[in-house]
Amino acid sequence: MLTRAPASVESNIRRYDTSYLAYFAAIIAITFLLRIWYAGNLYQDDGLWFTAAEEILRGKALYGEVFFDKPPVLPFVYAALFKLFGAHILTIRLFTICYSILISSLLSLFGSRLYDRRTGHVAGLMFAVFSTTYISGDMQSLNTEFLMAPFYIAGAFLLIRSCAQHQRPGLLAFAGGVLAGIAFQINPKGASDLIFFAVLLIFGRSWHHAPLLNYVRRAMRLFALAVAGLVAASLPFVVWLFATD
């Protein structure tokens, strides 16, 4: 037989939902206001991103006919946005605002899962503010560091969870490696997730009460799966590079 939840429980649920909605409304408002004022500005690397994307849309092959000194994902994202919404600076800036909100949301979610809700909210809010107020123009533009951030963050989260997870830790490590691999194809710094994971495994011995040899085997297996995930995510890009000469 179903019974109605006590009024105090329903009140707490409503208060929780309201505070969550208010938090994300604040994130959206802060991100939009801090970024929209710079929507018409061009920064030092924007010309390279714009030119590469426009040349791709004209049918030229990246690296073969278009100079580009970064991994391939960024110019293709620019090209896709230009194809869908037109080659205009406002297209990129509005997409960057939405992307920044996504990153803040991920930081809030993962921070809440790893620590507590307050820590997660602070992390998301700090990104919304400090990703726009630093003096460098790189903080406002859609560059490789910014584009790789959600994949890098999610990869790190899954790798952390694989250390503490007793069910399917290998799957989490592999998935974390895949996300790190996508980040790597945006910016080589994405591979730093594996360095972080190695350090985590080394110092994570204190979390487990298993014999040392068993823990070492487990750690090596998890790290190998993370590396395999990064390689698997990189393979399509490598194949594309060879296919396009």
Q: What percent of the chain has pLDDT over 70?
A: 87
Q: What residue type is assigned to position 50 of the chain?
A: F
Higher pLDDT, 10 or 144: 144
Domain boundary assignment for the chain: 23-142, 144-245
Cα separations in angstroms, 77 against 29, 54, 68, 87, 91: 25, 11, 14, 12, 12
**Interatomic CA distance for residues 221 and 166, integer angstroms:** 14
CA-nearest of 58, 94, 52, 57 to 74 is: 52
Cα 243 to the chain's mean position, in Å? 28
**Quick one: pLDDT at residue 181?**
95
DSSP string for 170-182 = HHHHHHHHHHHHH
Higher pLDDT, 213 or 103: 103
Question: Mean pLDDT over residues 220-228, rounded?
Answer: 95
Question: What is the C-alpha radius of gyration for the chain, rounded to an integer number of angstroms?
Answer: 21
**Quick one: pLDDT at residue 204?**
74
Say what the pTM is: 0.86
Work out the pLDDT band at 104, boundaries 50, 70, 90.
very high
**Quick one: pLDDT at residue 141?**
83
Q: Is 28 exposed, middle or buried (0-12, 13-18, 19+ CB in 10 A)?
A: middle
Tell me the CA end-to-end span of the chain in Å, nearest whole number. 67
**Quick one: pLDDT at residue 238?**
86
Cα separations in angstroms, 24 against 101, 128, 151, 167: 9, 11, 21, 32
Higher pLDDT, 26 or 137: 26
Instruction: Give 58's contacts (C-beta < 8 A, 6+ positions apart).
Output: none
Alpha helices in the chain (DSSP H): 7-36, 46-57, 73-85, 89-114, 117-133, 144-164, 169-184, 192-203, 212-243
